[in-house]
Chain A
């Protein structure tokens, strides 16, 4: 005992001697680690914000294209078209005499092509049995996490034209 107190090594001043002190150091280190992780989360959110601003600045204006003639489809009929680019398949459905809706044909789950079920009035994804309401595009059933992106339509003369996607600037 006497020998220990006389030849106390220097490292004991840096490394905690008592168990309680060691716990204190570990808790503090753990807390600092969590604060650093919090900084990482904040930087992640800032990165998303920057990407959002860049995407908004680079987004082209939506084109205006003719999708179908007013008398081209009977009630309950469907037409497939591409909008806003040739790689974006969409689905035009005539729900009633003056009621037209159009959605992206890509399921919001895993991008399978959705089809219109006239008997039930739903849009169905056959891959994983996801169902969307034809009138609103809202998810009714299955794994899709979001509603189908909706195409804004306008009747111009004898034509139905697509003027943009919901939530985007009018082009």
Chain B
């Protein structure tokens, strides 16, 4: 007796491979996040150095710029998620 054919719907549920363009977009977003993160690390170390040397004037701009960099990272992260969803991954 011949076996019943496999259900095609099951195979269709496996998401298709994302296109190379989506991968490039996500990789590019990762690179930008990495650059912002390096700047933020430098900013944190500079703020700490300023604080430990007894100066107060660097704390407020340091926190503001760090917040902006974090917002940039967050936006890039959301952009990456959207690119992934668009790619169907």
Asked if B80 and A28 sit within 8 Å, CB to CB, the answer is yes
**A42 and B23 contact, CB distance less than 8 A:** no
Residues of B within 8 A of A74 (CB): none
Partner of B11, one of A8, A24, A28: A8
CA distance A34 to B81 in the complex (A): 14
A98–B77 alpha-carbon span in the complex (Å):
62
Among B13, B14, B70, which residue has its beta carbon within 8 angstroms of that of A38? B70
- Contact residues on B (Cβ < 8 Å of other chain), bracket: 35 or more
- Complex Cα distance, B55 from A39, in Å, reads 24
A20 touches B23 (CB 8 A): yes
Q: Say yes or no: B53 contacts A31, CB within 8 Å.
A: no
Nearest residue in A to B80 (C-beta to C-beta)?
A31
For residue A59, give the distance in angstroms from its CB to the closest CB of chain B. Answer: 9
**Number of A residues whose C-beta is below 8 Å from B?**
40
Q: B63's contact among A45, A108, A145, A149, by CB below 8 Å, is which?
A: A45
| B77 to A, closest residue via Cβ | A35
User: If A38-B69, A39-B70, A48-B47 touch, does A31 touch B63 (CB 8 Å cutoff)?
Assistant: no
Instruction: Determine if A128 is an interface residue (Cβ-Cβ < 8 Å).
Output: no
User: Once the chains are docked, how many angstroms separate the CA of A17 from the CA of B12?
Assistant: 12
- Flag whether A46 is at the interface (Cβ < 8 A): yes
Whether the pair A51, B51 counts as a contact (CB closer than 8 A) is yes
Query: How far apart sit A167 and B13, CA to CA, in the bound complex (Å)?
Result: 67
Contacts of A20 in B (CB 8 A): 17-18, 23
B53 & A108 in contact (Cβ 8 Å cutoff): yes
15 A-B pairs in the complex with CB atoms less than 8 angstroms apart:
A13-B14, A20-B17, A24-B18, A31-B33, A41-B37, A41-B40, A41-B70, A42-B66, A42-B69, A44-B48, A46-B63, A48-B47, A48-B48, A52-B51, A52-B56
Partner-A contacts on B (CB < 8 A):
3, 6-7, 10-11, 13-15, 17-18, 22-23, 26-27, 29-30, 33-34, 36-37, 40-41, 43-44, 47-49, 51, 53-56, 59-60, 62-63, 66-67, 69-70, 73-74, 76-77, 80-81, 84, 87, 89
